[in-house]
Homo-oligomer: A and B are copies of this chain.
Amino acid sequence: MEEQKLEVVNKPTVNDIARVAGVSLATVDRVLNRRPGVRAVTIQKVQKAIDELGYIRDTAAANLARRRVYNFLFVLPDTDNEFVEALSNQIAEQSRNQFIERTRTSIQKVTPFEPQDIVEILDAVDGREVDGVAVFGPETPSVRDAVKRVRDKGIPVVAMVSDLPSSDRDHFVGIDNVSAGRTAAHLMGRFVHQRGKVLVLTGSRLARDHLERRQGFDLVVAEDFPHLEVVASVEGRDDPELIYKMMPEIFDSYPDLVGIYSSAAGNAGLIQFLTESKVSEELVIIAHELTPLSREALCMGTFDALISQDSGHIIRSAVRLLRATSDGVPFNRAQERIRIDIYLKENLPP
C-alpha cells in the first residue's frame, strides 16, 4: 500500500503506534507518559511498537495540546553590581522570546551574602506555580539544604555562576572558576615582564566562585611564573567604595606591586583609584566580567585583560536546562557549556 511508503519517509506519530500496536490513541498516550491504568501486556505491545517505529515525540505538538507554560524563577543577589545587572537585563530582554516559547520568568532579589534570605525564598517555592528555579548565591550548608528541599518537591534547580554542588544536582550554569583563575594567572605571568608582587582582590569567602578563582590563580603562578609572588588576598565584598578606600594602603604595603587580579566585582572602586592616582603604566590589571565600566577601562588601557562569561548565554542556558529537566529530556552538553571568555581591547564585541 501507499501508506507504507509514507511511513518510511515521515517520522512516526502516535497514530502509527496506535495502529501498529492495535490500541487506541489514549492508551498509547498513557504508555508514553507513564500514566497508570494500563495492563502490563498492553504496555508491552505499545512499547514494542514504539521501539519498532523509532518513535520520537514531537514536543511542540505535545506542548500545544497540553497548553504547557513553563514558569521559572530566578533568584539573584540584590546588588547594583554590573554583572548581576547584566543578568537581570538579559532575563528581561529575553522574556519576549521566552514568552513565545511558552516560558515565563520572574526574578526574586535577595540580600547579598545573606544565605538565610535565599533559604526563605526557596522554601516558599510552590510547585503549582513554579516549574524550575535558577539560583545565583553563596554556597552554605543552609542554602544547599534548601536547594535539596526544592528538588525533593520535584522542582528542578540550576546553580548559576557560582556552583552549589550536591549529589543530585541538576546542573551548573557558569564557567569553571578554578580554570578562570588559572587563565588569569597565565595572562598575568606572560604580560608582566619584571619581577614583583601580585595582589588578588577577592569578594567574599562565602562565594565559592571567588574562592575557586583564587585557588586556580595561586596554583598557576606558583607552578609556572617564579618571577611573581602572590601576596595575601584582600576581600573587597564586591563593594566599590570599600575597595577604593583600601587601595592606598595596599600600594603603600607593596611598593613592588606589578599586577592586580580583580577576581570579583566592585571594579568601579579599583578603576577610580587607578585613574586618580596615576600608578605605573606597567602595572598589569586583570579583572572579571565584561560590563560597560570594565569595557571602558580595557579600552583606555587601565585594564589589560578581562575574564568573562556571557550573561546572555547563561540565561538562555539556564532556561533550556530547566525546560529540559522539567520535561525529562536530554540536553546538548556542548551547547550549555559556558566559555571562559578572554577579552583584550582588540576582540571586544561591537
Contact = CB atoms under 8 A, between A and B. Distances in A.
Copies in the complex: 2
A159 to B, nearest CB: 18
A129 B6 CA distance: 10
A151 interface: no
Contacts of A129: 5
Given A99-B11, A339-B339, A341-B341, A60 B64 contact: yes
A90 B180 CA distance: 26
Interface stretch (A142-150, A238-246, A274-282, A342-350): A342-350
Nearest to A340: B347
A349 B337 contact: yes
A45 interface: no
A334 to B, nearest CB: 5
B187 A100 contact: no
Contacts of A312: 334-335
A182 interface: yes
A245 to B, nearest CB: 31
Interface string A175-216: 000011011011100110100000000000000000000001
B128 A2 contact: yes
Interface of A: 2, 5-6, 9, 11, 56, 58-61, 63-64, 69, 94, 97, 99-100, 104, 128-129, 179-180, 182-183, 185-187, 190-191, 193, 216, 220, 304, 310, 312-313, 316, 332, 334-335, 337, 339-342, 344-347, 349
Contact of A179 (B56, B99, B347): B347
B342 A342 contact: yes
The SS class assigned to the A binding surface is helix
A100 B59 contact: yes
A249 to B, nearest CB: 29
Contact of A61 (B64, B304, B339, B340): B64
Contacts of A179: 346-347
A346 B60 contact: no
Contact of A316 (B64, B128, B335): B335
Contacts of A332: 94, 97
A200 to B, nearest CB: 16
A344 B342 contact: yes
A340 to B, nearest CB: 4
Top 10 A-B residue pairs of the complex, sorted by shortest distance between their CB atoms: A60-B60, A182-B346, A342-B342, A183-B347, A340-B347, A183-B346, A186-B346, A186-B344, A312-B334, A190-B191
Which one of A69, A304, A342 has the highest number of Cβ atoms from chain B below 10 Å of its Cβ?
Answer: A342
B344 A341 contact: no
A217 B91 CA distance: 37
